[in-house]
Amino acid sequence: MPAVLSEAFVSPAAGTVPSALAVEALSLSFGGVTALSDISFAVAPGEIRAVIGPNGAGKSSLLNVVSGLYQPDRGRVWLGGHSFAAVPTDRLAKLGVSRTFQNLALFKGLSVLDNVAAGLSHRLRAGLFAQVIGLPAARRERAEGYARAEELLAFLHLDGVRDRPAGTLPYGMQKRVELARALVARPRLLLLDEPMAGMTLTEKRDLSGHIRAARDDLGTTIVLIEHDVGVVMGLSDRIAVLDYGRLIADGTPDQIRNDPVVIDAYLGVAHDLEAGEGI
Amino acid sequence: MTDLALEKTAAAAPHRASPALLGIGALLIVAYGVLPLVASEYLFDAILTPFLALALAGLGLNILTGYAGQVSLGSSAFMAVGAYAAYNLALRLPGVPFLVDILLAGLVAAAVGLLFGLPSLRLRGFYLAVSTLAAQFFVQWVFNKVGWFSNNSPSGIVTVPPLSVAGLPLDSSAGRYLFALGVVTAVTLAVWRLVESPTGRALVALRDHETAARVIGIPVLRVKLLAFAVSSFIIGVAGVLWAFAYLRTVEPAGFNLDRSFQILFIVIIGGLASLRGAFLGAALIVVFPLLLSRLGEALLGGLFDSGVLEMSQRIVLGLLIVTFLIAEPAGLAALLDRLWNRAWNWISGRFRRTG
């Protein structure tokens, strides 16, 4: 597998077009349990790349390594031309990377508008004193932040709920607010951890449209973890398949659909197929 | 809450904005214009001035606990730092105007708060709460032990110099009240600006989801320490008011653990993450023992002595706090909001029917 991958693997070191994201021989284990084992792949700019696999395959661990919440035991992560042994989470937003979480990670006590505007926190320059006194620069910065947030609310059809506390919204809408917060800074790379979990079919279709629009209109590269394989096949350019922490396949939806190894991983003896899942 | 109910409150919001401003305006007129003329010395000394000092302390703790979500059990330590710092500044630097003393006392309290906030970078929840107890006991111990802070007074109790600002003596009951009112108004305005600012938003983000806050680029460690510093600054200023405007003496025992809990109760009963909550909670905490003692005397007469009073205070207060935590975690502020909404809907409903 690594031999095949190396052709697709374009790290800045290789000197060709830099990938939006590349991981190189990532390994991670928790007290003897292997979460990721020697994983390498690259995501081209402007690509929508899905990561699928059975429960416990290591998908979320992979995103957590890429966003620096976990430190890999071995391997490197390439982001925006920089290589990291451990991604600095505090600088993630500055590197042009944003993410959503598998379980809702909104600021429940803040309004929808403030949640989305918070996505621009890494750009704030004004100090506390300037904000409290209301110096022109601080006021301009605050107004610009809200204006950007309003644009995103309109983009994701959330303008009707802008002043409501985020915690009081229905689940599907909270997911969309999280997407807006992740998109407001116009990230180069967006990581989505099960953005459609628990959504109805209509909500999933809507969100797929929004994700595609984010790529087409904002030029964002997207890596998403998703369980609903039907959605994944329609949405992604390429799909990486994880099983037991290993990358067992990486290719176009058609290649993945017909890959015997993938079919085996999903239908094989080792894993039970979850209700509602399948290829 | 159903969607319908939410839409209703959202729709009512624009109407409510101006009554809220009118309400604040009316309160300020009463506080500045009416009360100084009509209130008795008892009302100033026993109710209004301590209410203002405690409300300010509640406001300070609310920034840390209500907004930033970091529980502190050591608030009165920072009141003590503020009070002793102001006392020593007034004593040792007589030429410095008192308003500058207050500012410096607040900064000293902020520095001490920053120091005791350092554990928050590694600890959270219950463990952090316990570590803030260290501030409580350490600070009280230092002021007991080191005579320099109380100018080597043998009893440990010191009398503060009479209050005057810019040559204007404010040593009367009304003068001390007005001074406290001025300080509280100014600080409240600044706090309101703070919680509405991007920094205020970062505080809540930190409380609601620390990992998400880190990922979007909020400097979590800096914001935490900032919360400790700002909160301790305000509580320190509250300590200055407590010592100079209310008691006119300073002693370490006045800033014990009971006082810290009192401030925490103000925040819980009044409403976490609510500016009004600090004032409502402080009003309840100050007025409630007086009402209870009147009530007890009326019902039980001579049987209701000070021991019984203190005990029944604790029991009723404990019950109140448990009730609030279960029935209305958002405190008096939310309770009043709900009543106001209901009244508003009732009134507008009647208007619609008749008009």
Over residues A245-268, the pLDDT tens digits come to 999 999 999 999 888 888 887 755
Q: What is the pLDDT of residues B146-202, one digit of tens each?
A: 999 999 988 889 999 998 888 888 889 999 999 999 999 999 999 999 999 999 999
Which of A197-201, B204-208, B339-343 is the most confident on average?
Answer: B204-208
Per-residue pLDDT at B4: 37
| Better pLDDT: A48 or A230 | A48
* Sequence ranges of chain A with CATH classification 3.40.50.300: 1-96+188-279
Rounded Cα distance, A183 and A128, in Å:
26
- The one-character DSSP state at A165 is B
Instruction: Please report the DSSP string for A205-267 in residue order.
Output: HHHHHHHHHHHHHH--EEEEE-S-HHHHHHH-SEEEEEETTEEEEEE-HHHHHT-HHHHHHHH
Q: Which of B57, B62, B63 is nearest to B223 (CA)?
A: B63
Q: Decide if pLDDT at B11 tops 70.
A: no
**Paired tokens of B308:** 């019984």
Q: Does B199 touch chain A (CB under 8 A)?
A: yes
Please state, in angstroms and rounded to a whole number, the distance separating the CA atoms of residues B250 and B160: 7
Beta strands in chain B (DSSP E): 158-159, 164-165, 168-169, 249-250
DSSP E strand boundaries for B47-136? none
Residue B272 clears pLDDT 50, i.e. is over it: yes
Instruction: Encode burial over B24-54: b for 16+ CB neighbours within 10 A, e otherwise.
Output: eeeeeeebeeebbeebeeeebbbbbbbbbbb
Report the distance separating Cα A196 and Cα A102, nearest Å.
Answer: 9
A chain contacts of residue B213, beta-carbon cutoff 8 Å: 107, 118, 121
- Which of these, A184, A179, A107, lies nearest to A150 by C-alpha position? A184
CATH number of A1-96+188-279: 3.40.50.300
In this predicted structure, the answer to whether residue A155 has a pLDDT above a threshold of 80 is yes
Beta bridge partners of A224: A50, A192
Write the class of the CATH domain B20-354.
mainly alpha
Element (H, E) at B115: helix B98-117
Burial class for A269, CB neighbours closer than 10 Å (0-12, 13-18, 19+) = exposed
Name the residue in chain A with its Cα closest to that of B67: A109
CB pairs under 8 A between A and B: 96
| Closest-CA residue of chain A to B2 | A168
Tell me if residue B334 falls in helix, strand or coil: helix
Render pLDDT for B86-99 as a digit per residue (tens, 0 to 9): 999 999 999 899 99
Mind telling me how many Å the CA of A9 is from chain B's nearest CA? 27
Name the residue with tokens 């700002």: B230
Q: What is the mean pLDDT of residues B227-243?
A: 97
- What does the alpha-carbon distance between residue B117 and residue B75 come to, in Å, rounded to a whole number? 12
Beta-bridge partners for A43: A21
* Widest Cα–Cα separation across chain A: 66
Q: Which of chain B's residues have a Cβ under 8 Å away from the Cβ of A111? A: none
Structure-token match 């919440």, residue found: A69
Share of chain B above pLDDT 70, in %: 94
- pLDDT for A224 equals 95
Cα A138 to Cα B192: distance, rounded to the nearest angstrom: 16
For residue B190, list chain A residues with Cβ-Cβ distance below 8 A.
132
CB atoms B216 and A138 under 8 Å: no
Contact: A131, B214; criterion CB under 8 Å: no
- Å from A146 to nearest chain B CA? 10
CA distance A253 to A142: 43
Interface test with A, best of B9, B107, B214, B215 (most A CBs within 10 A): B215
Mean pLDDT of chain A: 88
In the predicted model, is pLDDT for residue A97 greater than 60? Answer: yes
The pLDDT value given to residue B354: 63
CA distance B58 to B75: 9
How near does any CA of chain A get to the CA of B105, in Å? 18
Name residue A69's amino acid. L
C-alpha dist (Å) from residue B52 to B55, B176, B177, B239: 5, 11, 8, 11
With a cut of 70, say whether residue B77 has pLDDT above it: yes
Under 8 Å between Cβ of A225 and A201: no
The pair of three-digit structure tokens given for residue B208, joined into one six-digit string: 């609601």
Contact A101/B13, CB-based, under 8 Å? no
What pLDDT, on a 0 to 100 scale, did the predictor assign at position A247? 94
All residues of chain B having their beta carbon less than 8 Å from the beta carbon of residue A138 are 197
CB-closest option in A107, A163, A181 to B208: A107
| Mean per-residue pLDDT, A87-96 | 94
Rounded CA-CA distance B106/B190 in Å is 14
Q: What is the pLDDT of residue B100?
A: 95
Residue A131, classified by CB atoms within 10 Å of its CB into exposed (0-12), middle (13-18) or buried (19+), is buried
- A56 within 8 A of A242, measured Cβ to Cβ: no
Average pLDDT, chain B: 90
Residues sharing a CB contact under 8 Å with residue B183, sequence separation 6 or more, in sequence order: B56, B102, B237, B241
pLDDT above 50 (res A269): no
Q: A121 and B216: CB-CB below 8 Å?
A: yes
The domain limits of chain B are 20-354
Q: Give percent above pLDDT 90 in chain A.
A: 71
Tokens representing B268 are 């819980």
What is the spatial distance between Cα A212 and Cα A235, in angstroms, rounded to a whole number? 7
Does B226 contact A at CB distance below 8 Å? yes
Q: Give the pLDDT score at B349.
A: 85
How crowded is the C-beta side of B61, counted as CA atoms within 13 Å?
A: 38
Phi and psi at residue B273, to the nearest 5°: 55, 40
Q: Measured between CB atoms, does B6 come within 8 Å of chain A? A: yes
Q: B13: which chain A residues are within 8 Å (Cβ-Cβ)?
A: 163
**Which residue carries 């009003």 as its tokens?**
B283
Query: How far is B217 from B227, CA to CA, in rounded Å?
Result: 17
The closest CB to that of A181, out of B1, B216, B273, belongs to: B216
Flag if B204 and A107 touch (Cβ within 8 Å): yes
Residue A13, pLDDT > 70, answer: no
Burial class of residue A203 (count of CB atoms within 10 Å of its CB; 0-12, 13-18, 19+): middle
Q: Please determine, for residue B13, whether its predicted confidence score (pLDDT) is greater than 70.
A: no
Q: B-chain residues within 8 Å CB-CB of A119?
A: 216
CB-CB under 8 Å, A163 with B217: no
Tens of pLDDT, residue by residue over B286-298, are: 998 888 888 888 8
User: Quick one: pLDDT at residue A268?
Assistant: 53
Residue B224 touches partner A, C-beta closer than 8 Å? no
How far is the alpha carbon of A140 from chain B, nearest alpha carbon, in Å? 12
pLDDT of residue B180: 97
The residues, any chain, with a CB within 8 Å of residue B322's CB and separated by 6 or more, are: none
For A28-85, write each residue's pLDDT tens digit: 999 889 999 999 999 999 999 999 988 888 999 999 999 999 999 999 999 988 899 9
- As beta bridge partners, residue B164 has B169
Nearest CA in chain B to A165: B6
CB-based contact B13 A163, cutoff 8 Å: yes
A128 with B194: Cβ contact below 8 A = yes
pLDDT number for residue B17: 55
CB contact under 8 A, B6 and A105: no
Alpha carbon distances (Å) from A251 to A4, A169, B287: 11, 37, 72
Q: Of residues B133 and A7, which shows the higher confidence score?
A: B133
CB–CB of A131 and B193 under 8 A?
A: yes
- Does the distance separating the beta carbons of A124 and B214 come in below 8 Å? no
List the alpha helices (DSSP H) in B167-274: 173-196, 198-208, 210-215, 220-240, 257-270
Question: CA nearest B282: which of B16, B115, B39, B75?
Answer: B75
